Amino acid sequence: MRYTPELSLDDYNVSLQNGFLPHSPPLKVLANPYYWPWEHIVRDLPAHIQFRTIRQAVEELPVLATDQLQGEPEWRRAYLLLAYLTHAYIWGGETPKDVLPPAISAPFLEVSNHLELPPCATYAALNLWNYSIPHPNADLTNPDLLSVTASFTGTKDEEWFLMISVAMEAKGGQLIALMLDIIHAATLDDSSRVSDLLLQFSEGLKELRKLLERMYEHNRPPVFYHQLRPFLAGSKNMAAAGLPNGVFYDVGEGKGKWHQYSGGSNAQSSLIQTFDIFLGVEHTATGGMKSHGATQAKNGFMQEMRNYMPGPHRRFLEMLSHTSNVRAYALTHKADSPVRDAFNAAVMSLGVFRDSHIQIVTRYIILAAKSKPPTTDATQINLATSTTTHMKKKDGVSGGIHGTGGTDLIPFLRQTRDETKATASYVD
C-alpha cells in the first residue's frame, strides 16, 4: 500500500477488505431477551404484513429503553429492526399510517442519534447491516452465498435484490485501496503508475457492472414493484401516496414531531458516491420535480443522500472530497496521453455502469408499473399504486414515475449518467 500512511480507515469504519460493510458480519439477532419483542415481530414480518396484523403487533409493543444495547453491532441490529418495523407499520395497511407509536418512535430516535442516521429504512439498514453468511470464510462478493436477516416479503426476490447490493459493496470495497493508491501516485507525479492503476480501476468497475446485471437472475420485476418497493418508500414528497405532512413520531405524553424522510435508495451507498468523488464527477440534479426559474443546488439530491449514511462513512466522503486529485492531475496531461486516456476510460466505465442501472430501473419500475401484481391478494394503497396512477396521466412511459424518495426517477438517473460521462475530457 502506498497511500498516505497517516490515513486510518478505521476512523471511518471503512475496511480494505469489505469497504463500507462491517468488519465482521452483522448480528443475526440481539442476544438480550429484553429486545426479543422487536425480534419476534421482525422474524414474522412477512406473515404480519400478509394477514394485516402488523399494526396491532406494533401497537402492543412495550416501550423499550436503549441503555441495554452494548457495542456497535447491537446498535446496528436495533436500528435495522426498528427501521423494518417503522416501514411495515406505515405502509402495511390499506392506507398509510402517519403517526408512529412511542414503542417505535422513542427507541428509534435514540438509536438513530447514536448512529448518526435518520430514523427510517436507509440503505445501511436494508443492505449494509442486513446480511448473513454460511461460514466465516464465505466470499461476500458472491450473492449466492448471502442471505438476509430481515425481510418484508419473505421472497427470494427481495433477498436477491438486497444481496446483490451487498456483494457489490464487498467487491467495490476492494477498489478503495486502489483509489487511495492512485491519489498518492498522482501526488508523487508518478504518471505511469497513475495510468496503470486507473486501467485496473476501470476493470474493477466493469466487474461491478457484471455483478449488477445479475439482478435479473432471481428478482422478478412484478414481485419487486408490487410487493417490495412499497415498503421502501419514505415519507418525503409523499402527499400523493397519503402522507402530506410526512410521519409524526410520537414519543409519548403528547410529545413528538413531524418528520419527512426519503426512502431507501442506492444513492445512499457511500461506495457509489466514493467513485464520483474520486473521479471528480459533479452532479447538479436535485432529483425533485422541475421548478421553473429555480437555481439547481450543486450536487443536489446526491449531496442530500449523504445525510442518510452512517456518520463515519459520511466523513470519509468529506475527507476524500478534499483529498482526491485525480481529475486535476489528468488534466495537466495532454489529450491522448496515457494518463488522460486511462482517466477517460475510468470515467466512461462508471458511465456505462450507470447505463446498466438505468436499464434495470426501466425493467423493474417503469415497465413493472404496467404489470399485474404477482398474486390475487389486494396490494396496499401505497407508493406503487400512486405512481402508477400518476404515470397514466402522463404522455410518456417514464413520465411521472418517482423514486422511493420522491425523485423524478428516469430524468434524474439520465442526468446523473450524462454528468458522469461529461467528466471525461478528450480535448485540451
pLDDT over 80 at 423, yes or no: yes
What is the DSSP track for 62-85?
----STT--SHHHHHHHHHHHHHH
pLDDT at 295: 34
**Confidence at 407, pLDDT banded by 50, 70, 90:** low
Q: Are residues 252 and 381 in the same domain?
A: no
283 is in an annotated binding site: no
Q: Are residues 303 and 377 in the same domain?
A: yes
pLDDT over 70 at 287, yes or no: no
Q: Are residues 137 and 286 in the same domain?
A: no
Contact 410, 366 (CB under 8 A): yes
Contact 212, 167 (CB under 8 A): no
pLDDT average, residue stretch 385-408? 49
Give a yes or no: residue 338 inside a domain: yes
**Confidence at 377, pLDDT banded by 50, 70, 90:** low
Give a yes or no: residue 152 inside a domain: no
Q: Are residues 252 and 210 in the same domain?
A: no
What is the number of alpha carbons within 13 Å of residue 86 lying toward its C-beta? 35
Q: Are residues 249 and 101 in the same domain?
A: yes
Torsion of Cα atoms, 201 then 202 then 207 then 209, to 10°:
120
Give a yes or no: residue 163 inside a domain: no
pLDDT tens for each residue of 24-41: 999 999 999 999 999 999
Rounded to whole angstroms, the Cα distance separating 265 from 262 reads 8
Average model confidence (pLDDT) for the chain? 89
Give a yes or no: residue 426 inside a domain: no
pLDDT at 27: 98
Can you state the angle between helices 270-279 and 338-361, rounded to 10 degrees? Answer: 150
Give a yes or no: residue 386 inside a domain: yes
Q: Are residues 249 and 201 in the same domain?
A: no
3-state secondary structure of 234: coil
Give a yes or no: residue 54 inside a domain: yes
Give a yes or no: residue 161 inside a domain: no
Rounded to whole angstroms, the Cα distance separating 307 from 315 reads 11
Kind and range of the H or E run holding 258: strand 255-259
Query: Domain containing 307: what range?
Result: 170-218+266-421
pLDDT average, residue stretch 410-428? 78
Q: Are residues 183 and 286 in the same domain?
A: yes
Rg (alpha carbons) of the chain, rounded to whole number: 22
pLDDT average, residue stretch 35-60? 98
pLDDT tens for each residue of 249-258: 999 998 999 9
Out of 239, 259, 279, a domain closes at 259
pLDDT at 399: 44
CA 71-114-123 angle, to 5 degrees, is: 95
Torsion of Cα atoms, 385 then 387 then 388 then 391, to 10°:
160
What is the DSSP track for 192-217?
HHHHHHHHHHHHHHHHHHHHHGGGGG
pLDDT over 50 at 391, yes or no: no
Tell me which of 420 and 342 has the higher pLDDT: 342
pLDDT average, residue stretch 213-235? 96
Chain centroid offset of residue 184 CA: 29
Q: What CATH number did the domain enclosing 386 receive?
A: 1.20.58.480
Residue 55 to residues 12, 148, 155, 352, Cα–Cα distance (Å) = 37, 23, 21, 43
Weakest-pLDDT range from 191-195, 252-256, 301-305, 311-315? 301-305
What is the DSSP track for 145-168?
G-B-S--SS--HHHHHHHHHHHHH
Q: Are residues 182 and 254 in the same domain?
A: no
**Confidence at 344, pLDDT banded by 50, 70, 90:** very high
Q: Are residues 304 and 240 in the same domain?
A: no
Q: Are residues 187 and 90 in the same domain?
A: no
Q: Are residues 252 and 275 in the same domain?
A: no
Give a yes or no: residue 210 inside a domain: yes
Tell me which of 405 and 370 has the higher pLDDT: 370
**Confidence at 6, pLDDT banded by 50, 70, 90:** low
Report phi then psi at 172, rounded to 5: -70, -30
Residue 319 is given by DSSP the state H
Chain centroid offset of residue 117 CA: 13
Q: Are residues 69 and 176 in the same domain?
A: no
Out of 259, 277, 309, a domain closes at 259
pLDDT over 50 at 137, yes or no: yes
Number of folded domains in the chain? 2
Q: Measuring CA to CA, which residue among 410, 415, 93, 126 is closest to residue 264?
A: 126
Q: Which three cell numbers stand for residue 85?
A: 418495523
